[in-house]
Amino acid sequence: MGQPSGRLERGKDAFNQVYGDGAADTFLTRRAGLGEDLARFGLEFNFGDVNARPGIDLATREMLTLATLIGLGGVDPQLAGHVRAALKLGISPAVIAELVIHTVQYVGFPRAINAMAVVRATLADEGVDVTLPEPPLPDSSRAGVS
């Protein structure tokens, strides 16, 4: 790998804030060789440029990332990684599940159902109770109101 840049250091700092101390170095080490440059580009751009910007806190950025990945579909490993990141940033399993439910109106049921399966499996892998409280029922006093 070439000379460390300010972008890489910012990216590593932001990545470690999301995934934990030392996570950026582990990320780079696991991709040494053929994928090394791509991993560095990801840290520099995604985390050093975009995630390090002011204006949106990391938890909000993580929820936006989850919604985007759900919409893309077919990115199960990345979705699982960002579910873990969301948990580390204090986003509750109930909020993550609600985020998936919210996306269904835009991305369709197949992508939302697949995303929920990834969320459930990731939460189980992390030892998080996947039993959520029953959602509140609609207010029956409003039934029939025009």
Residues 50-109: pLDDT tens digits?
A: 988 999 999 999 999 999 999 999 999 999 999 999 999 999 999 999 999 999 999 999
Rg, Å, the chain Cα set? 18
pTM of the full predicted structure?
A: 0.81
Residues 100-144: pLDDT tens digits?
A: 999 999 999 999 999 999 999 999 999 998 775 666 777 765 555
**Alpha-carbon gap, residue 6 to 1, rounded angstroms:** 14
Q: Where are the domains of the chain?
A: 1-53, 56-131
Domain 56-131: homologous superfamily in CATH: AhpD-like (1.20.1290.10)
Residues 17-30: pLDDT tens digits?
A: 999 999 999 999 99
Task: Please say if the pLDDT value at position 4 is more than 50.
Answer: no
Per-residue burial over 114-132, b = 16 or more CB atoms within 10 Å of its CB, e = otherwise: bbbebbbebbeeeebeeee
Closest by CA position to 84, among listed 15, 9, 6: 15
DSSP classification of residue 53 = S
